[in-house]
Amino acid sequence: MCGIVGYIGKQKATPFIIEGLKRLEYRGYDSAGVAVHQDGSIRVAKKTGRVANLDKETARHNFTGTCGIGHTRWATHGGVTDANAHPHVRSDGKIALVYNGVIENYVSIKKFLTGKGYTFASETDSEVICNLIAYHYDKEPETADSSRLLESVRKTLSHVEGTYGMVVTSEGNSEELVTARKGSPLIRGIGKDENIVASDVSAIVASIPMQLLSYYIAVERGCDVDKPRNLAKSVTVE
């Protein structure tokens, strides 16, 4: 069980995320991290231990971006290390992901991606999903009618067996966070010119105590992802 927070709006994202993560430490306190859009790229900070350690680390970086994601981890796959902490990024740093859940078939997906030249910096199943999103993102054409990142996440989840709650963001898209869930909670708070997503409503309330009257909590039905029956075949299709 892990905690997730994402923020997109007009204010600095990091204080919102840190405050939300503090409320989610009951979901995991092995490590914590953030990824924030800053100066045209995605900047990442993560530390083992409590969110207080991450708070000090982000203060050193002086993140000012207004879109970001954060995570507090309870270790399942991989030990308690900075490398295994979330957010995870693809090797070039252009896609970042925070994830709560367990991917039952991550070994076969990782084998497929390794064969395609993808490398991994951690022992986690979550990084495997980040790189599978990257694989589909690299193949997805740019169109004016749909989100390239959204379509990449949709295609990725058609290959995934397990439970998940995730928030994904990509470089150059500081006004977009893509979320998905199956068996893991995600709640969206919508305000004026800003949105927050979190694993628990307590993280949203903690982040906006003085603005709560201008927010509402959304319970929305997203789009279903059709999952092929044969994972091995679907993963290896070019």
pLDDT, tens only, 144-181 = 666 899 999 999 999 999 999 999 999 999 999 999 99
Residue 84 has pLDDT above 50, yes or no: yes
Q: Give residue-wise pLDDT tens across range 221-234.
A: 555 555 443 333 33
User: What rounded mean pLDDT belongs to the chain?
Assistant: 83
Q: What is the pLDDT of residue 206?
A: 62
Q: What is the pLDDT of residue 233?
A: 33
Q: What is the pLDDT of residue 235?
A: 39
3-221, which class in CATH?
alpha beta
Residue 82 has pLDDT above 80, yes or no: no
CB neighbourhood size of 89 (10 A): 21
Q: What are the φ/ψ torsions at residue 230 (nearest 5 degrees)? A: -105, 100
Where exactly are the structural domains of the chain? 3-221
